[in-house]
Structure 1
Amino acid sequence: MSTTPPPCVPEHLSSHDVEPGLRFDAWRERAHQWVEMLPPPPGTELDAELLTLRSSTCIFGTMRSSAYEMRAASRRLAHAPEMVVVTLIQAGELIRDAAPGEPQRVGPGNLGLYDPWRIGNYRWSQGSREVFLALPRDEVRAALGREPGNVPIPLEHCALAPALASQLNHLALLTRQPQKLDGMEYASLLEGTRTLALLMLRNLGRQGSSQEQSDLEDDLNGGRHAAALRFMEREAHRHDLDVAAVARGAGCSRTRLYAAFASRGETVMGALREIRLQRAKALIERSPRLHIGSLSWRCGFADQSAFSKLFRLRFGLLPSEWHHRTWSSPAAEAVARARSQDPC
């Protein structure tokens, strides 16, 4: 017995919804919750628009933007849903760090599969437009028959890829014309797009190729790397966290865990240290009060002195100096006063 999906309607966000001085921070928090959006160059005005459709099983979106850069950041994913993203570039160009020193250029008409947990930088050109469909990780894994990775999807190598590209383009057009459909029609179209995307991924995973087979170990390493990052992000506060514990959390042996991080020029404990330091920096920037001992303990550092040295080595300032720089501006002081007076 078939069930009708609940209705959904387009949600619209624009960078121009807020005044210029607050535009970047507002857009970063509202439109890029899974990645770290980098500030635009001085004097450059952010101009972006995002429309989304949401159901209980997927998220569809179409976005246009001025040039900007973002990077995958595990700390931004701590409370994000476990999803993988299928993207279609409609205009402009995306430059992605496929590997250290190996940028990959992706132009209009190209489909790709991207895992937000794979660390990397993404740079969008001026006037870029993209369509994306975020799908549950377990559904993508089941369709592909393996862990998802960051891979292009050539239209000519996958029988269903052109059909999905056409569907994404058409749904994007309809999303920009909300008067043409009602909530039930949008919901049915979104469910159909999800079904087609999973069929395409199943076709892609089944057909394979010699190149895909040769890249199998890279994909496995990528899955272990992503699983380890997710585990470390959740458990970074633990002072007893070591390589053996991370390997258990990622569901692999220590040898395979070492190999997964070595393939990216990283170490397991180096990645854990980076997660902890980034968390400490974020907490400093959010709180007008600073207690270094409590902060270091909360972020997984048992030794306050060692934490301060590591923080200065990573960011160029001691935690107290970073706190002073963050909260010494008039605007920051006003925020601090407001928070101190908040009865809640």
Structure 2
Amino acid sequence: MSRDGGLDWHGARFTRVTTDVAPAGERFDFWHALFPGIELRHTVREHGYGAAALTCAGDDGIAFTDLSCAPTASRFFDGRLDHMQLCLVTEGQFGFTHGSDEREQLGPGPGLYLFDCHRAAQTYSEARYRAFHITLPRALVHRTMGADPIGGDRSLRTLPDTPLGLLLKSQLHALSVYGPAMDAEETAAAMDAMSGLTLAYLNRFNPARADAGDGALDDAMFAAACRYIDARKDRPDLTAATIARAIGCSRAGLYRMFNRRGLAVSDHVRQVRLNHARRLLRETALDIGEVSLRCGYGDLSAFGKAFRRRFGMTPRDWRLSIA
């Protein structure tokens, strides 16, 4: 990360994807292929299928998306995705089913919706809708909001408007209009401002702000573990045992701390290392072997396989794709 709790937007750019590039009969399949890990279904049969997204993503897992979608149903599976999303619906509406068969209709209105995409849920729409999404790594949300940002077994929480929330809404609208015309430096500044507003807004709902009890201590320990991982991502000996010793807890306690947040220690370490690898491949002329070493991988083959599993391409192909 570029700073404690911050994100790295160097080299980020706005990209527009639309089903218009595919033949009418293949547009839904084209769109479905863009969302691995989510089951999609076309709910209203019509000639062709229309959807579009304007997106900008940083190398640390946060992204902005302006999504316009034809009637579609989707299903999220337990444990398949490792992020959360903050959502603002601007046009139309869609249904959301989660938890113990709780059903809600999401549409334009006060507040913002926070989804936990790691938990099982379903969405359904019978008409076109448009929404802005801010995608956030689960660990970052937990560091910002505490151990239980959604509550219970639910996958959705509606967060109320605050002055910061209203400012964030305005910025999302502005990004959708002006983002595509920004150069790299302007994009980095605008997206860094968005991430700062987002985290400040979410932090307002952290119970530790008003409670200095055991929950606050647990949140502080989790944040310390994440900082330790960030600082030592290049060390091959970065293990659960070394992390636990560094922050002063048992290895079992560390596992429980991450598990309460729906995370696994090894998965989080891998994610931090591979995001760092992507930055190094973008910003430096280091060869692939040196990048592997600087990300804690002594085995080049293991690094290549892990990178491809996470990003869908080899480190070399990733470097070529951004050249």
TM-score, normalized by the shorter chain, greater than 0.5: yes
Say what the alpha-carbon RMSD is for the aligned residues: 3.3
1:235-254 aligned at under 5 Å gives the runs 251=255
Equivalent residue number for residue 49 of structure 1? 52
Q: In 2 relative to 1, CA 118–14 (structure 1 residues): closer, same or farther, beyond 3 Å?
A: same
Equivalent residue number for residue 204 of structure 1? 205
Equivalent residue number for residue 91 of structure 1? 91
**Alpha-carbon deviations, 1:44-85, whole Å to 9, x = none?**
53211111101112111101112111110248x3xx5x3211
1:30-69 aligned at under 5 Å gives the runs 30=34, 32-43=35-46, 45-57=48-60, 58-69=62-73
Larger radius of gyration: 1
**Alpha-carbon deviations, 1:215-234, whole Å to 9, x = none?**
x9xxxxxxxxxxxxxxxxxx
CA distance in 2, matches of 1:125, 1:192: 35
Could you tell me how far 1:99 is from its partner in structure 2?
4.0
Does structure 2 retain, via aligned residues, the 8 Å contact 1:92–1:127? Answer: yes
> SS of the counterpart of 2:56?
strand
Could you tell me how far 1:201 is from its partner in structure 2?
0.7
Equivalent residue number for residue 307 of structure 1? none
1:222-237 aligned at under 5 Å gives the runs none
Q: Percent identity?
A: 20
CA distance in 2, matches of 1:39, 1:67: 6
Q: In 2 relative to 1, CA 206–102 (structure 1 residues): closer, same or farther, beyond 3 Å?
A: closer
CA distance in 1, matches of 2:24, 2:138: 36
**Alpha-carbon deviations, 1:242-271, whole Å to 9, x = none?**
xxxxxx8x9559xx99xx9xxxxxxxxxxx
Could you tell me how far 1:183 is from its partner in structure 2?
1.6
Q: Does 1:105 align with 2:105?
A: yes
Q: Does 1:9 align with 2:13?
A: yes
Q: Does 1:168 align with 2:167?
A: no
Equivalent residue number for residue 125 of structure 2? 124
Does structure 1 retain, via aligned residues, the 8 Å contact 2:20–2:27? Answer: yes
| Aligned positions, number | 209
1:273-284 aligned at under 5 Å gives the runs none
In terms of fraction of residues, the more helix-rich structure is 1
CA distance in 2, matches of 1:163, 1:87: 14
CA distance in 2, matches of 1:161, 1:132: 14
Does structure 2 retain, via aligned residues, the 8 Å contact 1:18–1:26? Answer: yes
CA distance in 2, matches of 1:37, 1:83: 18
Q: Does 1:27 align with 2:40?
A: no
CA distance in 1, matches of 2:148, 2:101: 24
Counterpart AA for 2:43: P
Q: In 2 relative to 1, CA 44–95 (structure 1 residues): closer, same or farther, beyond 3 Å?
A: farther
Greater than 3 Å deviation, 4+ residue runs: 1-5, 39-45, 98-102, 206-209, 250-253
TM-score w.r.t. structure 2 length? 0.57
Equivalent residue number for residue 71 of structure 1? 75
TM-score w.r.t. structure 1 length? 0.54
> SS of the counterpart of 1:160?
helix
**Alpha-carbon deviations, 1:265-313, whole Å to 9, x = none?**
xxxxxxxxxxxxxxxxxxxxxxxxxxxxxxxxxxxxxxxxxxxxxxxxx
Could you tell me how far 1:159 is from its partner in structure 2?
4.3
1:280-291 aligned at under 5 Å gives the runs none
Could you tell me how far 1:96 is from its partner in structure 2?
0.6
Q: In 2 relative to 1, CA 146–74 (structure 1 residues): closer, same or farther, beyond 3 Å?
A: closer
Counterpart AA for 1:18: A
> SS of the counterpart of 2:59?
coil
Q: In 2 relative to 1, CA 17–153 (structure 1 residues): closer, same or farther, beyond 3 Å?
A: same
Counterpart AA for 2:85: V
Could you tell me how far 1:103 is from its partner in structure 2?
1.4
Counterpart AA for 2:67: M
Could you tell me how far 1:145 is from its partner in structure 2?
1.4
CA distance in 1, matches of 2:175, 2:48: 29
